[in-house]
């Protein structure tokens, strides 16, 4: 019994305290474990979200849009790298002062900027896509919490040239019109992600989480020189006649390729917001109008195809007056007995109505649709109109007479030029094309002086369909030739080439009275050249010209001027003798071939690439004792000379403005490493 421990010793105060501490320790461990379980398991997602919100922000980086080329790989639209300014408000010590300074150098409202900074702790845009001078000014402020991010900005180096075809993009590089909208998904590419993070000392930095994937490059069927010719001639006639608007389209009838599509009014896609939405409208495809006498081509072609007449059949035009179900329709001048060929040449309404009555409602409608009227052409541009063609069951008794001479029907300029292209192409109607090719990473290659796209192959315009027999198309072409030789289209004669076409003068409806206006008309001419081997089909449409307003007087001369220059440029063999022309300057063929449309007046806020194949000029390389490159003096040099010298030195140059270099950042003599960007400011 003496060897057993004393119970009072086993439960001594020391042992009791140790047991209590052990229990407390176990409870503490259990509580800590429970809390850790709550933090790491139960509420892990919530706290992780809070941490990420405090420590990082992901912003989308727009990808580099593909380049839009003309058919000869001249850049019509490109993306250039520019700086965007953003802030991390938590790092800005004096938000009010920073907002005032930034607002002053960036031209932004300071109060609005201050609200933006106060509205977020971690990220806010200050100004996106600034020009190099603004970026330098912001850098010179050396403000804490202000950072730069590279973004892409769309630039159209030719300014207004082909603006309606190219379209324009928004601030986030999303296509808003034209090819930019139609092929936005392909051209835009896939956006990247930039992760803005804070380290343990609350210092912010950015890293690319996913680089952007550039979009596809697009080769258009346009030729920038033909486009410039069309726009120049259209602008001149619209100004001279004070027309409300106008359109010129140049097409290759054998392929359906659009070589030029010009509209007035126009706009500069670099500054599209400065123009009215009306100027953005591509009237060549979106504006339907009554074609007037140009639509007699459909009437006469249908009658010939159905063997209801012959070119030499003589028809009584009743001295310019005909009555249809109580409605009297009068010719623009009285005609008696005319063969069908002269009905076309003299544009007799009465003669066309008599042929239309032979066709009847159903067959007239069938030939309208066969030649592409009443449906979009599928050219590949957004906003194309269907035109206005009612089915026969909705025609009145006099509709056949009105439609035969181009009333009660609405067409677009593209529909009409495509129908005439079918006549020039032995009756085969093709789908017009504006996109020639697409490729992503493979650049244009040069072989034997010719450019081609190293790509997956061209866009197929389709085989088309036979709208008229080759015999009918040949007869209509011969009649259209008479229009130019000895008819209403004499001013469409070319010097050195044969041409054919049809004039049109259509009265517009007066919205106030609901009747046809005697002063507002649509003057037009559509034709092709040369006659036996058509290389181009051209349409000219002028809305409400003042003074001379007949299609043969104002639209036919524009056709002649455009056609002569285009055929010279294409080096098309002449099929007619060249006539000496007084007071008319001779066109130098080589000068026309070598001609390049002028660059945009406002150059991009980034480097413009030097043309492929151009040889850099000799440049003086300045190197200091340590082997570092020094900035040369670009002042007083042209934009091309600056670009060539910079390329030869391995420097990236940004050209701002147009003309000769007047200033640069950094200044001449500064030490740089190859690849550093230099801003050069030009002025005329």
pLDDT digits over 613-665, tens only? 233 333 333 434 344 567 788 887 877 777 767 766 667 777 766 677 877 77
The lowest-confidence range among 10-19, 563-572, 613-622, 649-658 is: 613-622
Closest CA to 655 of 636, 642, 671: 642
pLDDT of residue 201: 54
pLDDT of residue 485: 96
pLDDT of residue 365: 97
Asked whether 251 and 418 are in contact (CB, 8 A), the reply is yes
Dihedral angle sign, alpha carbons of residues 460, 465, 467, 469: positive
| Helix count and strand count (H, E) for the chain | 21, 27
Where is pLDDT greater, at 355 or 81? Answer: 355
When the pLDDT of each residue in the chain is averaged and rounded to a whole number, the result is 83
pLDDT of residue 242: 95
Closest CA to 222 of 286, 184, 165, 282: 165
Domain at 224-592, CATH class: alpha beta
Where is pLDDT greater, at 507 or 367? Answer: 367
pLDDT of residue 31: 83
pLDDT at 498 over 90: yes
Integer CA distances (angstroms), 641 to 598, 617, 633, in order: 16, 7, 12
What pLDDT digit, counting tens, does each position of 158-214 carry?
989 999 999 999 887 889 999 999 999 999 888 777 666 655 555 555 555 567 788
Asked whether 293 and 480 are in contact (CB, 8 A), the reply is no
User: What letters, b where the CB count within 10 A reaches 16 and e where it falls short, cover 555-566?
Assistant: bbbbbbbbbbbb
Taking only Cα atoms into account, the Rg of the chain, rounded to an integer number of angstroms, comes to 36
pLDDT of residue 593: 58
Dihedral angle sign, alpha carbons of residues 253, 256, 257, 258: positive
Where is pLDDT greater, at 603 or 48? Answer: 48
pLDDT of residue 248: 98
Q: List all residues 6 or more positions away from 499 whose beta carbon is below 8 Å from its beta carbon.
A: 481, 484, 492, 493, 527, 528, 529, 530, 531, 559, 560, 563
Q: How many CB atoms lie within 10 A of CB 420?
A: 27
pLDDT interval class at 606 (50, 70, 90) = very low
Q: Tell me the mean pLDDT in the region 260-278.
A: 93
pLDDT of residue 384: 95
Instruction: Give, rounded to a whole angstrom, the gap between the first and last alpha carbons of the chain.
Output: 120
Where is pLDDT greater, at 133 or 443? Answer: 133
Q: Give the span between the Cα atoms of 20 and 387, in whole angstroms.
A: 95
pLDDT at 569 over 80: yes
- Percent of the chain surpassing pLDDT 90: 48
- 3-class secondary-structure state, position 18: helix
What pLDDT digit, counting tens, does each position of 392-401 carry?
999 999 999 9
Q: Give the span between the Cα atoms of 244 and 458, in whole angstroms.
A: 37
* The CATH classification of domain 58-217, taken from the options 3.30.390.50, 3.40.50.720, 3.90.1310.10, 3.30.390.30: 3.90.1310.10
Q: Give the span between the Cα atoms of 539 and 397, in whole angstroms.
A: 31
pLDDT interval class at 454 (50, 70, 90) = very low
What pLDDT digit, counting tens, does each position of 516-533 carry?
777 789 999 999 999 999
pLDDT of residue 613: 29
- Which H or E run includes 367? helix 349-370
pLDDT of residue 210: 66
Q: Tell me the mean pLDDT in the region 407-423.
A: 97
Q: Give the span between the Cα atoms of 467 and 431, in whole angstroms.
A: 12
Dihedral angle sign, alpha carbons of residues 553, 556, 562, 565: negative
Closest CA to 634 of 608, 663, 611, 614: 663
Q: Tell me the mean pLDDT in the region 474-489.
A: 96
The lowest-confidence range among 135-144, 265-274, 443-452 is: 443-452
Asked whether 148 and 135 are in contact (CB, 8 A), the reply is yes
pLDDT of residue 63: 79
pLDDT of residue 592: 58
- State whether CATH 3.30.10.20 applies to domain 629-683: yes
pLDDT of residue 609: 34
Q: Give the span between the Cα atoms of 485 and 345, in whole angstroms.
A: 9
């Amino acid at each position: 019994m003496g060897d057993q421990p004393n119970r009072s010793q086993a439960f001594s105060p020391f042992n009791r305290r140790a047991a209590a501490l052990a229990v407390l320790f176990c409870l503490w461990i259990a509580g800590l474990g429970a809390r850790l379980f709550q933090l790491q398991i139960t509420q892990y997602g919530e706290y992780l979200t809070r941490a990420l919100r405090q420590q990082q922000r992901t912003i989308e980086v727009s990808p580099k849009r593909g380049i839009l080329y003309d058919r000869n790989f001249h850049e019509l639209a490109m993306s250039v790298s520019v700086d965007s300014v953003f802030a991390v408000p938590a790092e800005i010590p004096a938000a009010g002062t920073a907002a005032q300074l930034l607002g002053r150098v960036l031209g932004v409202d300071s109060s609005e900027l201050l609200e933006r900074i106060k509205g977020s702790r971690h990220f806010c845009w200050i100004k996106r896509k600034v020009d190099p001078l603004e970026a330098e000014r912001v850098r010179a402020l050396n403000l804490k919490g202000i950072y730069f991010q590279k973004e892409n900005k769309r630039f159209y180096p030719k300014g207004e040239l082909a603006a309606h075809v190219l379209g324009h993009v928004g601030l986030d590089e999303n296509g808003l019109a034209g090819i930019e909208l139609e092929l936005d998904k392909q051209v835009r590419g896939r956006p990247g992600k930039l992760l803005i993070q804070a380290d343990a000392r609350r210092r912010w930095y950015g890293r690319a989480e996913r680089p952007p994937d550039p979009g596809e490059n697009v080769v258009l069927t346009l030729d920038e020189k033909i486009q410039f010719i069309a726009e120049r001639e259209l602008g001149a006639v619209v100004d001279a006649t004070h027309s409300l608007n106008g359109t010129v389209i140049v097409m290759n009838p054998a392929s359906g390729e659009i070589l030029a599509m010009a509209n007035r009014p126009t706009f500069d896609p670099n500054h599209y917001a400065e123009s009215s939405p009306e100027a953005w409208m591509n009237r060549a495809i979106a504006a339907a109008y009554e074609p007037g006498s140009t639509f007699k081509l459909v009437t006469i072609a249908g009658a010939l195809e159905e063997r209801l007449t012959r070119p030499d059949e003589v028809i009584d035009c009743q001295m310019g007056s005909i009555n249809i179900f109580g409605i009297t329709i009068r010719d623009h001048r009285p005609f008696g007995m005319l063969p069908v060929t002269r009905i076309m040449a003299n544009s007799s309404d009465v003669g066309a109505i008599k042929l239309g009555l032979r066709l009847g409602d159903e067959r007239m409608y069938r030939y309208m649709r066969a030649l592409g009227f009443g449906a979009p052409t599928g050219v590949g541009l957004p906003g194309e109109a269907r035109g206005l063609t009612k089915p026969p069951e909705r025609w009145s008794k006099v509709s056949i007479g009105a439609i035969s001479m181009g009333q009660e029907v609405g067409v677009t300029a593209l529909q009409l030029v495509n129908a005439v292209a079918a006549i020039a192409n032995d009756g085969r109607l093709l789908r017009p094309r504006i996109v020639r090719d697409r490729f992503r990473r493979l650049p244009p290659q040069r072989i034997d002086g010719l450019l081609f796209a190293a790509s997956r192959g061209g866009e197929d315009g389709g085989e088309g369909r036979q709208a008229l027999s080759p015999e009918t198309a040949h007869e209509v072409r011969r009649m259209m030739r008479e229009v130019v030789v000895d008819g209403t289209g004499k001013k469409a004669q070319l010097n050195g080439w044969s041409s054919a076409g049809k004039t049109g003068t259509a009265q517009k409806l007066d919205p106030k009275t609901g009747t046809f206006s005697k002063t507002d008309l649509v003057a037009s001419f559509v034709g092709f050249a040369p006659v036996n081997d058509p290389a181009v089909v051209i349409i000219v449409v002028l809305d409400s010209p003042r003074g001379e307003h007949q299609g043969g007087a104002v639209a036919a001369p524009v056709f002649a001027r455009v056609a002569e220059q285009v055929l010279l440029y294409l080096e098309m063999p002449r099929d007619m003798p060249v006539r000496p022309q007084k007071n008319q300057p001779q066109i130098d063929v080589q000068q026309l071939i070598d001609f390049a449309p002028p660059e945009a007046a406002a150059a991009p806020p980034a480097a413009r690439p030097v043309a492929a194949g151009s040889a850099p000029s000799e440049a003086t390389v300045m190197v200091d004792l340590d082997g570092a490159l020094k900035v040369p003096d670009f002042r007083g040099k042209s934009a091309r000379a600056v670009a060539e010298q910079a390329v030869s030195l391995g420097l990236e140059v940004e050209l701002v403005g147009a003309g000769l270099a007047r200033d640069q950042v950094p200044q001449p003599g500064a030490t740089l490493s190859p690849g550093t960007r230099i801003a050069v400011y030009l002025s005329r």
